[in-house]
Amino acid sequence: MESSISRTELNCISLADPGIQKSVALLKQACLDSGFFYVVDHGISQEFMDEVFAQSKNFFDLPHSEKMKLLRDEKNRGYTPMLDEILDPENQVNGDYKEGYYIGVEVPADNPEANKPFYGPNQWPTEEVLPKWREVMEQYHREALRVAKSVARIIALALDLDVDFFDRPEMLAKPIATLRLLHYEGGQNTGHAFMSNGRVSNPAKGVYGAGAHSDYGLITLLATDDVVGLQICKDRNAQPQVWEYVAPVKGGFIVNLGDMLERWSNSIFRSTLHRVVLDGRERYSIAYFVEPSHDCVVECLPTCKSETNPPKFPPITCSAYLSQRYKDTHADLSSYSDGKA
């Protein structure tokens, strides 16, 4: 059961605000309440953000056969077709009605580090097909990581840790950071046929742009166009669940905490259920998922446990945790064996 859906208010944190304690207080309240907040004044120009969205659209406008040449590989790099991902298998009748493109940390194939999961060379469209595309995406990857590190410093202070806690080598100095371009297909409403093809979400019938889920890692930076679609559920155990829309923020990021940070904080900070519900309009978004290094052990922080509040989760390495979560939510690559050119 679900109740009626309203729009939520989120705290807004300016990275240009010299009053760091104000930012820490706003972030801490957001992390205790919903695990979602806005970040503005992050130093990435609107002009460049517009260019990244334009280049994303250029890719998704390519013929399906051209996109399938870049089908995601075993390192989760490249194109993910419509319905490839199923984030909420208990409630979805099909996969997510979205297509995407994964771009990770670029590691040459002959580098020993490339043997690790989530590391390796990216797949790139050729310059002939999409000039400047790689250049723009690599620049955005660098810029988004800089913003994520700034946010992580405020999170560290909010958890009563040293400000540079997440800057350490095993944390974000060598992160598993993944950029994901996302496209939700739009179209004209033509009645029942339109409803059945997924372009209009229908939660009552298990049809979603993206099924309900929480993110896997540390934090996610989400940039969106101006089409509303993201919803959050602050209390996943409530009956009925209450879903609230999150308004897009021009030039800013919607930031949310991932499950790894919930584990680290012993469930003090929230990794919140969210989903995408489509109204038939085309929608583009760009997610940037930030996780620590492969070998980082995620275990309860010293500031988040006590005799009366012992650790709730066993220690686990970042690599092992992420590998299982991706395996659980993506289609087996062998199902595409006939479709990749």
Query: Helices marked H in 185-312 — which ranges?
Result: 192-196, 259-264
| Residue 339 is assigned to a structural domain of this protein | no
Q: Which of 70-74, 148-152, 154-158 has the lowest average pLDDT?
A: 70-74
| Residue 39 is assigned to a structural domain of this protein | yes
Rounded CA separation 190/186 (Å):
12
DSSP class of residue 240 equals S
3-state secondary structure of 36: strand
Band (pLDDT 50/70/90 cuts) for residue 220 is: very high
How many CB atoms are located within 10 Å of the residue 269 CB? 21
DSSP string, 204-216: GGTB-SEEEE--S
- Give the pLDDT of residue 330: 64
- Give the pLDDT of residue 276: 94
The answer to whether 160 and 31 have CB atoms below 8 angstroms apart is: no
The CATH number of residue 249's host domain is 2.60.120.330
Kindly state the average pLDDT of the residues 259-284.
92
| Residue 341 is assigned to a structural domain of this protein | no
More confident residue, 118 or 265: 265
| Residue 6 is assigned to a structural domain of this protein | no
More confident residue, 167 or 324: 167
Rounded CA separation 231/239 (Å):
17
Instruction: Give residue-wise pLDDT tens across range 289-327.
Output: 999 998 899 999 999 999 998 999 999 999 888 887 777
Please, what's the largest Cα pairwise distance for the chain? 62
| Residue 340 is assigned to a structural domain of this protein | no
Measured over the CA atoms of residue 95, residue 99, residue 105 and residue 107, the dihedral's sign is positive
For residue 254, is pLDDT > 50? Answer: yes
More confident residue, 191 or 93: 93
Q: Which of 9-18, 252-261, 319-328 has the lowest average pLDDT?
A: 319-328
**Sheet-wide strand order for 219-224:** 12-14, 36-40, 253-257, 219-224, 283-291, 176-184, 99-103, 78-80
Rounded CA separation 311/264 (Å):
9
Kindly state the average pLDDT of the residues 155-163.
96
Band (pLDDT 50/70/90 cuts) for residue 329 is: low
| Residue 92 is assigned to a structural domain of this protein | yes
How many CB atoms are located within 10 Å of the residue 167 CB? 14
From residue 298, alpha-carbon distances to 39, 170, 192, 218, 262 in Å are 25, 11, 47, 10, 10
Count helices and strands (H / E) in the chain: 7, 15
Domain span at residue 320?
12-331
Kindly state the average pLDDT of the residues 198-225.
88
| Residue 4 is assigned to a structural domain of this protein | no
- Give the pLDDT of residue 303: 94
More confident residue, 190 or 72: 72
The answer to whether 42 and 253 have CB atoms below 8 angstroms apart is: yes
- Give the pLDDT of residue 117: 80
| Residue 336 is assigned to a structural domain of this protein | no
DSSP string, 138-199: HHHHHHHHHHHHHHHHHHHHHTT--TTGGGSIIIIIS-EEEEEEEEE------THHHHHTTS
Rounded CA separation 276/255 (Å):
15
Rounded CA separation 196/314 (Å):
43
User: What is the model's pTM?
Assistant: 0.91
- Give the pLDDT of residue 197: 53
- Give the pLDDT of residue 323: 81
Q: How many domains does the chain have?
A: 1
Angle, CA 154 vertex, CA 296 and CA 152 arms, to 5°: 30
For residue 334, is pLDDT > 80? Answer: no
